Chain A
């Protein structure tokens, strides 16, 4: 926990100063998560503000301060999901529509070729975001939380409020869909895969 329970309780009672402290404590983490979830740096701040505004209005629904973090994550996930849904039309590019450059990036990633560090980072971002945009918003958010944010199944259970088994099934299916898209970017590997069959 980045803040004391007392601060959360004070914020619940309408203390603006305590609320500010909570925002200050969590904003970096939340904005980082949003950045990785939505993949558009220019909109991260707007979505972050939306998360904290929602937090302000729903603080009275928080029963115990112990569950504050997963609950804040849930608000973040919901805000990111709403944003991604609004942006769906722009993000409907399929892996089959990937540019030549993106295929080269995938190839470079697979081959482990050395690229200039910054250039490579930018390409990695573009590539993973392309992969994630090829699946639904639900899959994208779930995979990002698990694979990129590194949240445990227990934490995901609290955020999604579903049983671990159901979560595992959802994760497996989401991963399979991304893997298919990933395989489509690597013709060499795909050939090997079809050869194996």
Chain B
């Protein structure tokens, strides 16, 4: 297809120039500025909500991490700490099942069983 010639260029330039003159200046309504601020507040509201939710989520996550760290570092009972952490298996066994604690009847039963 042939490209348009110079005559068309001039015509088009003239049409564009006339178009600029033909477009009326837009009338500004009284609601223009309030509309802008409504738009700003609406977007602020949305972004603030997202920010608030994410901040709460982060706070909750940090609190949970701290709680878990505390639970893991602090021993459950002092005895357990002494019994399981600082003594050998045999010592721990001896502490838990000392011969004095076993009832006499139980000892008799055990002796009988052995014989």
Contacts and interface: CB of A to CB of B under 8 A. Distances in A.
Contact of B23 (A35, A147, A176, A179): A35
B18 A124 contact: yes
B104 interface: no
B22 interface: yes
B35 A49 contact: yes
A180 B1 CA distance: 9
A157 B1 CA distance: 31
Contact of A49 (B2, B5, B13, B32): B32
Given A53-B40, A109-B11, A109-B15, A182 B4 contact: yes
A182 B12 contact: yes
Interface string A109-153: 110000000001110110110010000000000010001111000
Contacts of A183: 4, 8
A100 interface: no
A74 interface: no
B71 interface: no
Contact of A182 (B11, B24, B43): B11
Contact of B36 (A53, A122, A189): A53
Contacts of A179: 3-4, 8-9, 12
A183 B22 CA distance: 22
A27 B28 contact: yes
B113 interface: no
A108 to B, nearest CB: 11
A36 B5 contact: no
A52 interface: yes
B22 A121 contact: yes
B2 A194 contact: yes
B33 interface: yes
Interface of B: 1-5, 7-9, 11-16, 18-26, 28-29, 32-33, 35-36, 39-40, 43
